[in-house]
Structure 1
Amino acid sequence: MLAASITSQADLTGLYTSTGVLGLIWYVLVAIALWKVFSKAGWPGILAIIPIVNLFILVKIAGYSAWLGLLFLIPIVNIVFHIIVAFRVGRGFDKGGVFSFFLLFLIPWIGYFIIGFGRAQYTKPV
């Protein structure tokens, strides 16, 4: 009985390790993409590394007050607000609604790479 529980714990540890490594790789890629986006928008790129701060900077890039970033803490409101921020960031980089919805809301790591390393120029949304 004891051997089975040790084996089960080892299996979980292996799962956490591979998930942790993949999560770290994903986070580094997102930070690189956001670094370039922040630099294009006139913000220090180093802020992309800090987990909660990067959301507040995205809200600022979208043209809103950073205080509105607190809306990300409210369960249903955060989804709606994330869509709004994605559309406003897309508009700031002269991207359309389809690009904003699919590549900045649904799969943002690809969208931010396209904006950050592409030719898009930032103009503050009005």
Structure 2
Amino acid sequence: MNNDLYAFLAGFGIFLFVFLLVACILLIVTNWKIFSKAGKPGWASLIPFYNIYIMSDIAFGNLSYFIAIMISWVVSFLGGFLEISILSSLAGLASFVLYIIYCVKISKAFGKSGGFAVGLVLLPLIFFPILGLGSAEYIGPQQKENATL
């Protein structure tokens, strides 16, 4: 009985490893294509932190996302380091909210709807490849129109 369990767990581990490897490769190719469509160098998607800087420029047209995500990561790190769990939790929630905002902005930057942004948030392994490998064209960051009184 134990041998069957070990064989099952080994097989599941191999399956999981292969699935994650394929998912990582797919997301690397997808990000490379998204960067290229936006006129940025594809290799920039491989460089940690620099890729977030470029993503901020693609989706927002400025560094606001980059600065906000870096602040949330630093706060999360400090919360963990100082063992202040509420601080880490709030920083994690802030990072998730920033991810949702990023998905909405990247969706609009490629001329997609709010429904597509929901897909980016909930099913990124499907919708980001659609964005990067599909026929979507980069139209640039969409700025909020100023309301006049």
- TM-score in terms of structure 1 length: 0.76
Identity %: 28
Tell me how far 1:125 sits from its aligned partner.
2.8
Instruction: Report matched runs for 1:17-56 at 5 Å.
Output: 17-50=14-47, 53-56=50-53
The residue that corresponds to 1:108 in the other structure is 124
Look up the SS of the partner of 1:124 in the other structure: coil
Distance 2:10 2:49 in 1: 27
Query: Considering only aligned residues, what root-mean-square deviation do their CA atoms show, in Å?
Result: 2.6
Tell me how far 1:59 sits from its aligned partner.
2.7
The more displaced of 31-40 and 105-114 is 105-114
Distance 1:41 1:58 in 2: 10
Aligned pair count? 122
Distance 1:115 1:17 in 2: 29
The 1:29/1:75 distance shift into structure 2, 3 A limit, reads same
Provide structure 2 residue ranges, at least 5 long, that are not aligned to the other structure: 77-90, 144-149
Look up the SS of the partner of 2:141 in the other structure: coil
Distance 1:106 1:34 in 2: 17
Distance 1:91 1:77 in 2: 21
Provide structure 1 residue ranges, at least 5 long, that are not aligned to the other structure: none
Look up the SS of the partner of 2:131 in the other structure: helix
Bigger radius of gyration: 2
